Amino acid sequence: MLNCFELFRKILQWVNFESELYRFPFSRHINVLFFLGVWAFDSDDRMVTHAYGSYRLVTFLILVSCVICQGIDFWMALGNLEKMTYNMCTSVVTLLTTIKLLIILQRSDSLRNMRKMLMRDYYGYSSPQDEIIKRHALDEMNFLAKTYLGALSVFLPVCMLIGFFSYLWGPRELPFPSFFPINYDIPSQYNIAFLIEVYCGALIITSAILLDLVVFGVVIQIAAQYRILHKDILTLNEFYSKQNEVNILLKRDETVQYLKKIISRQKNLMRYVKKFEWCFNELIFIHIFGGTILIIVNGLQVLKMSYTINHKLMYEIVYLVLLIVDMYYNCHYMNILTLQCKSLGDAAYSIDWYEMDAGLQKYLLMVIMQAQRPPRITAGKLFVVDLNTFLSLMKNTYSWLMLFRQIEMK
C-alpha cells in the first residue's frame, strides 16, 4: 500500500512541480488525458513508468472491450433499423475515439516538441500589446473549454437519466447500447452493468472532448503567434523613416535586422503549421468522417422520432446540434490558420513600403510572396479543411440523409 502511495506521489510531483510544460495553461487538457490513462508518460523513475504503463494498458483494454461489446450489440440488432441507428450513435464515438487516441499517441513525441516550442514562444513575447494578444488567446481557449465541458456536464447526465428511468419504468436498457451477458431483470446484475457503463461512458466522451480541445489549443497558440507577427509588421514604420535624414543609415540597418527577424519568424510559423498538419491530419479526417456518419445516423433518428412522442427525442436533437457545432468549430479553427498566414501579406503591403529603397522592398516582397502560399490543413491528405469544407459537408450530409430516409420509407 505504501509503495502505491509513493508511486502516486512521484507521478503528481513530476506533473505538478518538475515539468514546466505540464504547468503551461494550454496543457491542462493533455494533463487530464494523462490522468485518464490515455496519454504518453515518460519519467526517469523506471518503477513510475512501468506503473503508469500498466494503468494505460488497462485503460485501453477497457476501450477495446467497449468497442467489442457495442459491435456485438450492433450485430445482434441487424435488421432492426431503429436499434442499429441508436447503437451507431454511441458505438461510432467509441470506435473513433479509440482510433484517434492510438494515432495521436504515435506522434506524441513530435507533438510534445511542438508544444515546447510554442510554450517558449508564448513566454518569449512580453510587450503590453503581446500580453493582450496572449490573454485573448487564453480567454478563447477557456471559452471553448467551458463550452465543450459544459456540454459534457449536460449530455452525460441526460444519458444516465434515460437509463435510470428505463430502470424504474421499463423496459430496462443501458445508457449506451452494448452487449452484456446478463439478465436485466435481476437488479444486482443490471446495477453492475449500469455502473460499468457510467465509468466507460464518462471515459470515452471525456477523452473525445479533450482530444478536440488539444487540437484547438495548438491552433489557438499558433494563431496567437501569427497575430503577434502581424502586429510587428504593422509597427515596421517605427524602425524606418525618410523624414530623419541624419539617422537614415542607422534606421536602415535597424530595419534590415527587423525585417530579417520577421522573415525568420514567418518561416518558423510556417513550419509549425506544417508540423501541426502532419500530426493531426489523420485525426482530423477520422473526426470529420465519423462526425458525418453520426450526423446522418442521428438525423435519421430525429426524423423517425418526430412523428411520435418519445422521451429520447430531445436527447437526439441536442446530440445532433452538438455534432454540427463541433464540426463547425473544427473547420473554423483550421480556416483560421490559413487566414492568419495570408494576413501577413496584407500587413506588409499596408505599411509605407513606397518610401523605402529597393533593398528593403525586396525583404517585404519576400514576406508577401510567402504569405501568398499558405500551408494547407488537410484531412488525411485528401481535402483541405476550411469553412467551405464545412458548407460542402453539410450539403452532402443533407443529401445522404434524405436518400437514406427515402430508402427507409420504401
Listed by start position, the domains of the chain span: 108-409
- pTM attached to this predicted model: 0.84
For residues 326 and 291, is the Cβ–Cβ distance under 8 A?
yes
For residues 335 and 273, is the Cβ–Cβ distance under 8 A?
no
For residues 63 and 105, is the Cβ–Cβ distance under 8 A?
no
DSSP string of 317-369?
Answer: HHHHHHHHHHHHHHHHHHHHHHHHHHHHHHHHHHS-GGGS-HHHHHHHHHHHH
Residue 312 to residues 2, 151, 293, 302, 332, Cα–Cα distance (Å)? 48, 17, 19, 9, 30
Give pLDDT, residue 220: 92
d(CA 52, CA 217): 25
Q: Find cell 537614415 and name the residue.
A: 248
d(CA 197, CA 194): 5
For each successive 10 residues of the chain (410 residues), what is the average pLDDT?
Answer: 54 52 78 76 70 80 84 77 72 84 83 86 84 90 88 77 68 71 75 81 85 90 90 76 53 77 88 89 88 82 68 73 87 88 85 77 84 83 87 85 72
Give pLDDT, residue 1: 47
Give pLDDT, residue 150: 85
Q: Grid coordinates in use for 283?
A: 485525426
